[in-house]
């Protein structure tokens, strides 16, 4: 049976991610760039009406670039686009879709160096802009995370992370749990 062509990229990614390469020697001045995406589930609170409702689906695309300030410390910047489907059933209104654009700074601390893999702790802080129909609001966000970097070549890696985020935009406070994957290049 021939596999559909839409599964081919997934099969290639799965095959290459099963291979390991010795991890790169992290040093001051090393640069990391990544492109990834993820899914999240959030709880949103209206600060004016003190009403909570769940964000049922959110999908994001993320680009980051950072530089190592020490062997195990990276600082950098990120740009994230998120599309969210909001569920207003608890407040008797129709669902809405909104988009967010976040620009931020982050820091990572890497630890554990075994067989082509490293783990990390992440903290980020940034600005957020939410667009909903004809309105646009600005705010701020923070996130905290843990993750795993698995080298597939001596300078390329697949990264998996879990993040907890807090943001305040306009009349709303949000808390979210995000799961993300990225392809990173170290140079």
Domain that holds residue 156: 5-186
Higher pLDDT, 34 or 168: 34
Sort 21 into a burial class: Cβ within 10 Å, 0-12 / 13-18 / 19+.
middle
DSSP 154: S
Q: Is 92 left (phi over 0), alpha (psi -120 to 50) or beta?
A: left
Given a cut of 90, whether residue 24 has pLDDT beyond it is no
Specify the residue for token string 């021939």.
2
pLDDT per position as a tens digit, 160-181:
999 999 988 888 888 889 999 9
What is the mean pLDDT of the segment spanning 56-79?
93
Given a cut of 50, whether residue 1 has pLDDT beyond it is no
What is the mean pLDDT of the segment spanning 18-27?
71
* Overall domain count for the chain: 1
Q: What is the CATH number of the domain that holds 154?
A: 2.40.160.20
How far CA 88 is from CA of 59, 66, 92, in Å, comes to 18, 38, 6
């Amino acid at each position: 049976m021939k596999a559909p062509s839409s599964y081919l990229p997934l099969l290639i990614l799965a095959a290459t991610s099963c291979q390991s390469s010795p991890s790169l020697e992290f040093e001051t001045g090393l640069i990391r760039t990544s492109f990834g995406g993820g899914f999240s589930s959030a709880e949103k609170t209206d600060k004016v009406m003190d009403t909570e409702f769940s964000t049922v689906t959110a999908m994001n695309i993320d680009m980051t670039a950072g530089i190592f300030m020490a062997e195990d410390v990276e600082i950098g910047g990120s740009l994230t686009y998120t599309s969210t489907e909001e569920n207003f059933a608890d407040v008797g209104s129709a669902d809405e879709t909104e988009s967010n654009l976040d620009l931020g700074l982050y820091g990572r601390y890497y630890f554990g160096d075994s067989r082509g893999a490293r783990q990390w702790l992440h903290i980020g802080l940034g600005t957020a802009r939410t667009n909903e129909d004809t309105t646009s609001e600005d705010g701020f966000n923070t996130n905290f995370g843990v993750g795993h970097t698995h080298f597939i070549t001596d300078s390329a890696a697949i990264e998996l992370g879990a993040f907890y985020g807090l943001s305040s935009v306009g009349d709303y406070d949000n808390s979210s749990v995000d799961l993300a994957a990225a392809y990173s290049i170290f140079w």
